[in-house]
């Protein structure tokens, strides 16, 4: 079983790094067909061409092959007699040398690179228990360009969370490789809001009236692909909420670049 | 919006003919440098000649001598070094996300390469050498031969025009509507 987890991890990373989920490609294609700014349109077509090149040659779409982040959904009837963290880490090490991936993880203080994309706290595994016996492993390699622009705001309950999101996007979107996907967490605590925002990226895209209204307002900003102007600033967003303290309004925005990479492997 | 096909080293005449919004394809030598390489050049000087050079904000993915993926990284992290790097004769900085425009006035341009397009960029670059490899793959200074590297957009020209700033200002105006 441990070997199967390692192999599934390598396969999920290979798939995630070298091709985009079909719904992400569709979103970019739709945006390219609707975009009225010629420069923005040519950027969107170049992005699509880049993904096709990567897929044809089995090359990473982006040189920033990301931080190893995984969402694992584990059946309650399954018992593991080994460390899931260690097995997925082993998969990351193998994927780093075989795909290959750029070695990205460093000690935060000394900045020394481990060379294999693992280290204390890495890979980051977000675990849910679900019904059944299957083990579902989704790789979400996360690039630093978009992750660096992410923000948690501890707002005043009288503040408007949507204004905060619009202001943050207008200041930061250009550096995060737009058109973007935004994972938004509203409520909870300081750290729960951030985790909700990350989980929102797993549940992308949202289609509630509030989410669609916010999407429209964000696209009206005109930031466009790569921040050089255009109709296409945000391709999708999802809001996750949790109850918060009556005196608090935490709002977290996790930026995700247009190359919204993920791939799932299921072990039955 | 005019399309230019230029070769490094760039002359001041090359820089002067470029205006914000123009499209550039670049051939010749370009040098990758990001956070650690800039810090090292500040401390010890550049291991390469920067006269007329194009510096590429990029941490490539390379195996052996093969460039596998090599799109731009966020230039903003290197903003603190713009003045001194341009003072050493650099005439083009390539990256994504932009840089404050003032240091570029009358001497250099900022060229924006589409972010996330590492596979496409890799096909336009060949490794010719590497410096400071002790900094690791992403942070080394890679000497690339560029073959029609682009499309890049002149986002900051040498006349004080800054497309990123224009877009940001217009977004702020839209927000207060």
> How many C-beta atoms surround the C-beta of residue B52 within 10 A?
18
Query: Which of B116, B117, B153 is closest, CB to CB, to A39?
Result: B153
Cβ pairs A/B, distance under 8 A? 146
Nearest CA to CA, how far is B157 from chain A (Å)?
14
Question: Rounded CA gap, A120 and A175, in Å?
Answer: 28
For A75, the token pair is 């059946």
Q: Which of B5, B38, B57, B131 is catalytic?
A: B38
Question: Are residues B174 and A229, on separate chains, in Cβ contact within 8 Å?
Answer: no
Residues of B with CB under 8 A from a CB of A: 1, 21, 36, 58-61, 63, 68-71, 73-74, 76, 96-98, 112, 114-123, 136-138, 151, 153, 155, 163-164, 166-168, 170-172, 174-175
A227-260 in b/e form (b: 16+ CB < 10 A) is bbbbbbbbbbbbbbeeebeeeebbbbbbbbbbbb
Query: Which of B60, B70, B98 is closest, CB to CB, to A174?
Result: B98
Torsion angle, alpha carbons of B76, B78, B84, B87, to 10: -60
pLDDT of residue A118: 98
pLDDT of residue B176: 80
- Site from B118, B125, B169 to mutate, A interface, most A CB atoms within 10 angstroms: B118
B10-46 in b/e form (b: 16+ CB < 10 A) is beeebbeebebbbbbbbbbbbbbbbbbbbebbeeeeb
Partners of residue A165 in chain B, C-beta under 8 Å: none
Query: Which of B121, B155, B175 is closest, CB to CB, to A170?
Result: B175
Query: Which of B120, B166, B172 is closest, CB to CB, to A49?
Result: B120
B102-131 in b/e form (b: 16+ CB < 10 A) is ebbeeebbbbbbbbbbbbbbbebbebeeeb
Question: Catalytic site residue B131?
Answer: no
Partners of residue B119 in chain A, C-beta under 8 Å: 50-51, 53-54, 57, 59-62
Asked if the model's pLDDT at residue B1 lies above 90, the reply is no
pLDDT of residue B177: 73
Question: Are residues A60 and B69, on separate chains, in Cβ contact within 8 Å?
Answer: yes
pLDDT of residue B54: 98
Three-state DSSP string of chain B: CCEEEEECCCCHHHHHCCCCCCEEEEEEEEEECCHHHHHHHHHHCCCCCCCCCEEECCCCEEECCEEEECCCCEHHHHHHHHHHHHHCCCCEEEEECCCCCHHHCCCCEEEECCCCCHHHHHCCEEEEEEECHHHCCCCCEEEEEEEEEEEEEEEECCCCCEHHHHHHHHHHHHHHC
Question: Rounded CA gap, A255 and B109, in Å?
Answer: 28
Name the residue in chain A with its Cα closest to that of B99.
Answer: A175
pLDDT of residue B50: 95
pLDDT of residue B175: 85
pLDDT tens for chain A, residues 1 to 268: 999 999 999 999 999 999 999 999 999 999 999 999 999 999 999 999 999 999 999 999 999 999 999 999 999 999 999 999 999 999 999 999 999 999 999 999 999 999 999 999 999 999 999 999 999 999 999 999 999 999 999 999 999 999 999 999 999 999 999 999 999 999 999 999 999 999 999 999 999 999 999 999 999 999 999 999 999 999 999 999 999 999 999 999 999 999 999 999 999 9
Question: Are residues A101 and B61, on separate chains, in Cβ contact within 8 Å?
Answer: yes
């Amino acid at each position: 079983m441990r070997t199967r987890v390692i192999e599934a991890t390598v396969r999920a990373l290979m798939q995630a790094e070298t091709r985009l989920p079909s719904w992400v490609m569709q979103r970019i294609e739709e945006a390219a067909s609707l975009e009225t700014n010629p420069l923005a349109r040519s950027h969107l077509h170049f992005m699509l061409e880049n993904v096709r090149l990567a897929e044809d040659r089995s090359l990473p779409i982006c040189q920033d092959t990301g931080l190893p982040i995984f969402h694992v959904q584990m059946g309650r009837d399954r018992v593991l007699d080994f460390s899931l963290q260690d097995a997925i880490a082993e998969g990351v090490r193998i994927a780093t040398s075989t795909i290959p991936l750029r070695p990205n993880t460093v000690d935060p203080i000394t900045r020394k690179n481990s060379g294999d994309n693992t280290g204390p706290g890495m890979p980051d595994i977000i675990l849910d228990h679900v019904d059944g016996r299957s083990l579902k492993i989704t790789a979400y390699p996360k690039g630093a360009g978009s992750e660096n622009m992410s923000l948690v705001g501890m707002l005043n309950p009288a503040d408007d969370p949507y204004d905060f999101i619009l202001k943050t996007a207008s200041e930061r979107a250009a550096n995060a490789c737009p058109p973007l996907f935004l994972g938004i967490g509203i409520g909870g605590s300081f750290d729960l809001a951030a985790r909700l925002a990350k989980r929102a990226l797993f549940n992308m895209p949202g289609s509630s009236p509030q989410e669609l209204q916010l999407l429209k307002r964000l696209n009206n900003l005109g930031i466009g692909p790569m921040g050089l102007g255009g109709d296409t600033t945000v391709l999708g967003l999802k809001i996750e909420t949790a109850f918060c303290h009556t005196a608090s309004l935490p709002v977290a925005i996790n930026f995700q670049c247009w190359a919204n990479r993920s791939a799932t492997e299921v072990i039955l | 919006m005019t399309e230019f096909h230029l070769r490094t080293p760039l002359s001041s005449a090359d820089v002067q003919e470029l205006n914000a919004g123009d499209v550039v394809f670049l051939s010749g030598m370009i040098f990758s440098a990001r956070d650690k390489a800039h810090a090292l050049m500040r401390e010890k000087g550049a291991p390469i000649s920067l006269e007329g050079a194009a510096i590429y904000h990029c941490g490539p993915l390379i195996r052996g001598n093969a460039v596998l993926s090599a799109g731009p990284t966020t230039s903003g992290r290197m903003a603190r070094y713009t003045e001194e790097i341009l003072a050493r004769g650099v005439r083009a900085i390539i990256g994504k996300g932009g840089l404050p425009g003032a240091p570029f006035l009358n001497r250099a341009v900022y060229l924006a390469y589409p972010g996330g397009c590492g596979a496409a960029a890799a096909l336009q670059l060949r490794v010719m050498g590497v410096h400071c490899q002790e900094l690791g793959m992403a942070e080394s200074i890679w000497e690339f031969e560029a073959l029609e590297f682009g499309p890049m957009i002149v986002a900051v020209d040498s006349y004080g025009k800054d497309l990123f700033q224009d877009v940001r200002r217009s977004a702020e105006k839209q927000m207060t509507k």
